[in-house]
Each structure stands twice: as structure tokens, then as C-alpha cells.
Amino acid sequence: MVKAIVGANWGDEGKGKITDMLAADSDIVIRFQGGANAGHTIINEYGKFALHLLPSGSFNRNVVNMIGNGVALDIPELIKELDDVVARGVPKPNLVVSERAQVLMPYHKLFDKYEEERLSDRQFGSTKSGIAPFFSDKFSKIGFQVWELFDDEKRLREKIKNIIEIKNLMLEHIYHKPLIDADELYNELRGYGEMIEPYVIDSVQFMHHAVKSGKRILLEGQLGSLKDPDFGIYPMTTSSSTLAGYGTVGAGIAPYEIKEIITVVKAYSSAVGAGAFVSEIFGADADELRKRGGDGGEFGATTGRPRRMGWFDCVASRYGCRVQGTTQVAFTVLDVLGYLDEIPVCVGYEVDGEVIRDFPTTGKLERAKPVLKKLPGWKCDIRGIKKYEDLPENCRNYIEFVEKELEVPIKIVSNGPSRKDIILR
């Protein structure tokens, strides 16, 4: 039985918590895309953790945590994260890494940084984790799969020599930066190889047998639908697919095996990086929501940057659920809205004098103005409530309004950052 947990919005929907919760009933948790460029926040009996690459099942002894072939594998970062959780008293996670995962190279981070510097005021707002250069290289067929790090020496040296030729031309003529030395890079990659080899497996065989023997498998998505390179706010997206559908490729599972797609939807909006954000708010309203948002404020888990804030966006979230193929929604951070007398929600976009309800392509999106509707607030703290019926009436009305707009059932409501703040419907 394969389930996927993915985001409907711009990321930071609270997927980490829902994954951590569902990981307890899973045998295998898999990261299938992205890299160390976003963070999941998990709060459990060991403390508070920001995971960037480790799958969210890492706190459960009985779970095998897999880095799938679709991930941008930053080896030193992964090993550091592993060491960090162990140092904080977590039993060593059971980790495996696909031999086909590609390696995030030291120069990917440099090129990410140099390119953002070159773009200056036109920059993407990259986390500078090397993700865009990594995926460019993967699809230009000049990436390195993990197995290459500890395979034939001559082959690896030859490949390095060929690939740094173009990299050094760019460093010299475009960015005017120090060049890459082939021997140094070779030694660095061999070092990576030694670090990662104990975890590397043939993930295709592993997954084949896991599915066949009925293992409970959880695909863990990073970021959300609106950051998907095909369906998101292109080009202000990430560089690998954030959709559940890609989970079958990035983990190596047959498409028809995914039976449940749990899409995490946030009760208000937040986004990092540049790009259209129709329901965005500014000034004091934004500061207040940012301060109260998430667990201790809405600041990036990877960069610490203040997140852009906005009201709930029905147009974007319905679309976000639709492109995921959502079977049920987990509605999160609802407790945060308890301070408002009235809660604005965006129910349509006004574009070129017309109101639309279907999420448009980027040009129209950039011209869109939000059509807002105000719902009555509930003016109290809902943390600690365990049963749906015990939520204040206006709070239930808010959930039910959103559910109707999303056109998919909300089955999980998250009313606080900790694992126990959860209401099942």
C-alpha cells in the first residue's frame, strides 16, 4: 500500500508533522524529489528538528528511510543531519540511499550563488543549495549517480576531466571565479563515496520486493504544487517535480500503486522566494500573521528568511489539490487564525476585468487581483481540542467552506505544531 504526502501550496504547509505522524504506521518512508533546499519541521519526544534531506520517518526505529533516485543528494549535508539527530539522542535512523540518486556536486552550490549574484535584482531568490544547477546537469546528462563515486577510478577521473572543461569555461569567462581542479574534485568525490557507500542499495529491487510483499510505503513530498516546474508559477518554481505523480519515478514504483494522496493545505498562505502571490498581504497585517504563524513565526527552515504572507487562496489551493490528484486533505495551522475577528479568503482572481476561478498561467497570474470574502473568526485558542465537534462553530464553518472550495474531503485538521495537536474527521 503506497501513500503520498504532498503540499498544495508554495511549501511549508506542515508536511513534516503529518509525515512524522503517519510514519508511525509505515514500513518505508521515501524522499523522491528535491534536495536539501527546504526543511521539514518535526516536533516529537526528542525535541524540535528541521530536516532537510533525511526522510521524516527517521525518528521511528521500525521505519526504513529511503533517499530515492529522484533526489538531489547532498552527501555531506545528509551525513551531517544524520550525525546531528544521533547526537541529540535519537536512535540511529535506518537509512538507505538509491544507487541511482545523483550527487549534488560542490560546484552546484557555487554556480547557484554565482548565478544569483549575476542576476542581481532579477534573481530567483534561490536558497543557494545548488538545486537548479544540479537538475540542469542531470538533464544535460553531465551528472554523477551515486554508484560512480566508488566504482572504477579511471572512469571517474575521465568523466571529471570532461565535465570540468565546460564548468571551468563558465567560471573563467562568465563568473570570473577560481577554477575547479580535477584532482581535488576527484579526492572530494572519493571522500563522498566513503561516506555514503554503507547506505547505498539497489532501490529498484528493494522497492519491487517491498511493494510485492505489501509493505506500507509513504512518499514524502517537499515544497508544494505551486512550486512544480510544470504546473507551478514557472519560472519562479523549483527544479524538480513536487507532485505525487512524480513519486512513482523518483522512488521507482509503478504509477498505479499509489492508493492515497494526502495533500497538505495551509489555513492561510505563505511563500518564500520571488513570484506571483495573488492573496499576499503587507504591512501590519502581514507582520502580525507572520509573527503568530507556524511554530514561533513564519521564517524559512533552511534560510531563516521571513516568509511572504497572505490569506487563504481558494483558487490556488483547489488547483494545487487537483494537480496532485488528492484523495484527502490535511488542513494545517488552523490554530494560528484564532486572533482574527474576520478572516479574509481569496475566492477568485480578477484578471483583465474578468473574475476567474481556475488558476491561470504566469502572465495572467501576475496581473491578477484577489477577490476577497470575509468569514467570521472564532476568537479563541483551539489548540488541545481533540474532537471535530468540539471546535467552535465559526471554526468548523471555516473548514467546511474551504472543503467545499477545494472539492476534496478534509479528513485531518492540525490545530498546533506538536504531534498530538491533530483532529481526525
Q: Does 12 bind ligand GDP (CB under 6 A)?
A: yes
Tell me which of 40, 108, 228, 313 is the catalytic residue. Answer: 40
Spatial separation of the C-alpha atoms in residues 79 and 89, rounded to whole Å: 16
Residue choice 5, 38, 315, 323 for contact with ligand GDP (CB under 6 A):
38
Task: Specify the residue, 33 or 332, whose C-beta has the smaller distance to ligand GDP.
Answer: 332
User: Interface with ligand GDP by CB under 6 A: which range of 7-15, 159-167, 211-219, 394-402?
Assistant: 7-15
Measured from the CB of residue 317, what is the shortest distance to ligand GDP in angstroms? 14
How many of the chain's residues bind ligand GDP (CB under 6 A)?
25
User: Interface with ligand GDP by CB under 6 A: which range of 9-17, 94-102, 116-124, 374-382?
Assistant: 9-17
Q: Does 20 bind ligand GDP (CB under 6 A)?
A: no
Task: Specify the residue, 301 or 343, whose C-beta has the smaller distance to ligand GDP.
Answer: 301
Residue 44's beta-bridge partner residues? 47
3-state secondary structure the chain: CEEEEEECCCCCCCHHHHHHHHHCCCCEEEECCCCCCCCEEEEECCEEEEECCCCHHHHCCCCEEEECCCCEECHHHHHHHHHHHHHCCCCCCEEEEECCCEECCHHHHHHHHHHHHHHHHHCCCCCCCCHHHHHHHHHCCCCCEHHHHHCCHHHHHHHHHHHHHHHHHHHHHHHCCCCCCHHHHHHHHHHHHHHHHHHEECHHHHHHHHHHCCCCEEEEEEEEHHHCCCCCCCCCCCCCCCCHHHHHHHHCCCHHHEEEEEEEEECCEEECCCCCCCCEECHHHHHHHHHHCCCCCCECCCCCCECEEECEEHHHHHHHHHHHCCCEEEEECHHHHHHCCEEEEEEEEEECCEEECCCCCHHHHHHCEEEEEEEECCCCCCCCCCCHHHCCHHHHHHHHHHHHHHCCCEEEEECCCCCCCEEEC
CA 307 to chain centre: 15
Task: Specify the residue, 185 or 423, whose C-beta has the smaller distance to ligand GDP.
Answer: 423
Residue choice 36, 96, 336, 371 for contact with ligand GDP (CB under 6 A):
336
Q: CA geometry: angle at 307 spanning 344 and 13, to 5°?
A: 70
Measured from the CB of residue 224, what is the shortest distance to ligand GDP in angstroms? 8
Task: Specify the residue, 232 or 348, whose C-beta has the smaller distance to ligand GDP.
Answer: 232
Q: Does 40 bind ligand GDP (CB under 6 A)?
A: yes
Q: Does 81 bind ligand GDP (CB under 6 A)?
A: no
Q: Does 15 bind ligand GDP (CB under 6 A)?
A: yes
Spatial separation of the C-alpha atoms in residues 187 and 195, rounded to whole Å: 13
Task: Specify the residue, 261 or 333, whose C-beta has the smaller distance to ligand GDP.
Answer: 333
Residue choice 332, 347, 399, 405 for contact with ligand GDP (CB under 6 A):
332
Q: Does 416 bind ligand GDP (CB under 6 A)?
A: yes
Task: Specify the residue, 185 or 337, whose C-beta has the smaller distance to ligand GDP.
Answer: 337
Measured from the CB of residue 212, what is the shortest distance to ligand GDP in angstroms? 30
Active site residue 40: yes
Measured from the CB of residue 154, what is the shortest distance to ligand GDP in angstroms? 42
Q: Does 301 bind ligand GDP (CB under 6 A)?
A: yes
Q: Does 14 bind ligand GDP (CB under 6 A)?
A: yes
Evaluate whether 71 touches 77 at the Cβ level (below 8 Å): no
Q: Find the binding residues for ligand GDP in span 396-415 (CB under 6 A).
A: 414-415
Q: Does 26 bind ligand GDP (CB under 6 A)?
A: no
Active site residue 12: yes
Contact partners, residue 50, CB within 8 Å, separation at least 6: 39, 40, 41, 301, 302
Task: Specify the residue, 17 or 108, whose C-beta has the smaller distance to ligand GDP.
Answer: 17
Tell me which of 12, 27, 112, 313 is the catalytic residue. Answer: 12
Measured from the CB of residue 333, what is the shortest distance to ligand GDP in angstroms? 4
Q: Does 228 bind ligand GDP (CB under 6 A)?
A: no
Residue choice 16, 35, 93, 273 for contact with ligand GDP (CB under 6 A):
16
Residues designated catalytic: 12, 40
List of residues contacting ligand GDP (CB under 6 A): 7, 11-17, 38-41, 43, 294-295, 301, 332-333, 335-336, 414-417, 421
